[in-house]
């Protein structure tokens, strides 16, 4: 059984079709990277998975269970298993770091506060922010905020972590710290779908690279295959551009 199985998934914003027949499987412990030009539907795919954008067709199974995106309770169950981190961190500005990380486990999952806080401290230490527990988001750098956002997602104890261009809003010198955090997660066995333009990083960390274009998957395979011998012109053109930069 696959950890996540996406079959012929489609989605649209009104008449604008942005995902067409996307099929993808992710096994436990795998890191899958989504690459592709801007507007190719990478973010939309992640948004559909967590129920922020409705699909127009296809199915998603997580650990063998079909998610019904028309049902609130089914979406809830899927969100218990998947956590998403956004490009712009989207931290709650009215809460300090500890608050951001613990609020959902305490208020939504109704877990014991002491236990959650102890875990949160561990998590924040893992992402290198043990000394920032009482800082507010606007007192942190972008890289620090993004690491808080990752800790917040991990505090939900997800089976699958979705990372949407988590480094592209960051200054170059802050990128490394966030990538290090993700590397550590990967070596801890976290299952992840990563959207990224950091091709070196993608190549190093991914078990599989999936390239999207205009809402479709046009190429997939091991990093070496994709980067070194892309089969489509579109992919060649894309990598040519990106790698030349």
Partner 1 sequence: MLERMANEIPRLFEYYSAIFLLKAMGTTLLMTLVGVGLGFLLGFVIVYLRQTPGLFWVPVRIVAITYVEIFRRIPFLVILYLVLFFIQAISPNASLFTIATIGICMMAIAYTSEIIRAGFESVPRQQIEAASAMNFSRWKTLINVIAPQSWPVIVPPAFAYMVSFIKDTALVSQIGVVELTFAGKVMNNRGYSALLVYGTILILYFLLSYPLTRLGGYLEKRFASSKDN
Ligand X SMILES: Nc1ncnc2c1ncn2[C@@H]1O[C@H](COP(=O)(O)OP(=O)(O)OP(=O)(O)O)[C@@H](O)[C@H]1O
Helices 113-126 and 142-154 sit at what angle, rounded to 10 degrees?
A: 130
Among the listed residues 10, 11, 43, 167, the single contact to Mg ion using CB under 5 A: 43
Q: Which two tokens stand for residue 74?
A: 């089914």
Report in angstroms how near the CB of residue 75 gets to partner 1 at its nearest: 9
Report in angstroms how near the CB of residue 43 gets to partner 1 at its nearest: 11
CA 198 to chain CA centroid, Å, is 14
**By C-beta, is 68 or 223 nearer to partner 1?**
68
Output phi, psi for 59, to 5 deg: -135, 155
Report in angstroms how near the CB of residue 84 gets to ligand X at its nearest: 13
Which of the choices ligand X, Mg ion, partner 1, none does residue 147 contact, using the CB cut-off of 5 to 8 A by kind? none
b/e string for 209-231 if b means 16 or more Cβ within 10 A? bbbbbebebbbbeebeebbeebe
Among the listed residues 8, 21, 23, 39, the single contact to ligand X using CB under 6 A: 39
Which of the choices Mg ion, ligand X, partner 1, none does residue 108 contact, using the CB cut-off of 5 to 8 A by kind? partner 1
**By C-beta, is 17 or 133 nearer to Mg ion?**
17
Which of the choices ligand X, Mg ion, partner 1, none does residue 181 contact, using the CB cut-off of 5 to 8 A by kind? none
Which of the choices Mg ion, partner 1, ligand X, none does residue 68 contact, using the CB cut-off of 5 to 8 A by kind? none
Residues 6 or more apart whose Cβ sits within 8 Å of residue 14: none
- DSSP one-letter code for 131: G
Among the listed residues 6, 18, 48, 202, the single contact to ligand X using CB under 6 A: 18
Residues 6 or more apart whose Cβ sits within 8 Å of residue 39: none
- Whether 161 and 97 have beta carbons less than 8 Å apart is answered as no
| Interaction between residue 55 and ligand X (CB under 6 A) | no
- Whether 208 and 30 have beta carbons less than 8 Å apart is answered as yes
Q: Which two tokens stand for residue 14?
A: 């009104």
- Binding residues for Mg ion, rule: CB under 5 A, are 43
- Binding residues for ligand X, rule: CB under 6 A, are 13, 16, 18, 36, 38-44
């Amino acid at each position: 059984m696959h950890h996540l199985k996406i079959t012929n998934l489609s989605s649209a914003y009104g008449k604008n079709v942005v995902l067409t027949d996307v099929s993808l499987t992710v096994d436990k412990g795998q890191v899958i990277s989504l690459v592709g030009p801007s507007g190719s539907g990478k973010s939309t795919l992640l948004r559909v998975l967590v129920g922020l954008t409705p699909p127009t067709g296809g199915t998603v199974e997580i650990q063998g269970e079909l998610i019904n995106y028309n049902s609130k309770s089914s979406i809830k169950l899927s969100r218990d298993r998947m956590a998403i981190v956004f490009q712009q961190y989207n931290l709650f500005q009215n809460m300090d770091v500890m608050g951001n990380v613990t609020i959902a486990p305490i208020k939504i999952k109704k877990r014991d506060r002491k236990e959650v806080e102890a875990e949160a401290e561990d998590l924040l230490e893992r992402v290198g922010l043990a000394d920032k527990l009482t800082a507010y988001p606007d007192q942190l750098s972008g890289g620090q905020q993004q690491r808080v956002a990752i800790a917040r997602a991990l505090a939900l104890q997800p089976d699958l972590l979705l990372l949407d261009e988590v480094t592209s809003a960051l200054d170059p010198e802050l990128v490394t710290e966030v990538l290090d955090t993700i590397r550590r997660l990967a070596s801890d066995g976290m299952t992840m779908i990563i959207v990224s333009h950091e091709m070196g990083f993608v190549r190093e960390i991914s078990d599989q690279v999936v390239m999207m274009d205009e809402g479709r998957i046009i190429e997939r395979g091991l990093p070496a295959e994709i980067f070194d011998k892309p089969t489509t012109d579109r992919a060649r053109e894309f990598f040519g551009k990106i790698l030349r930069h």
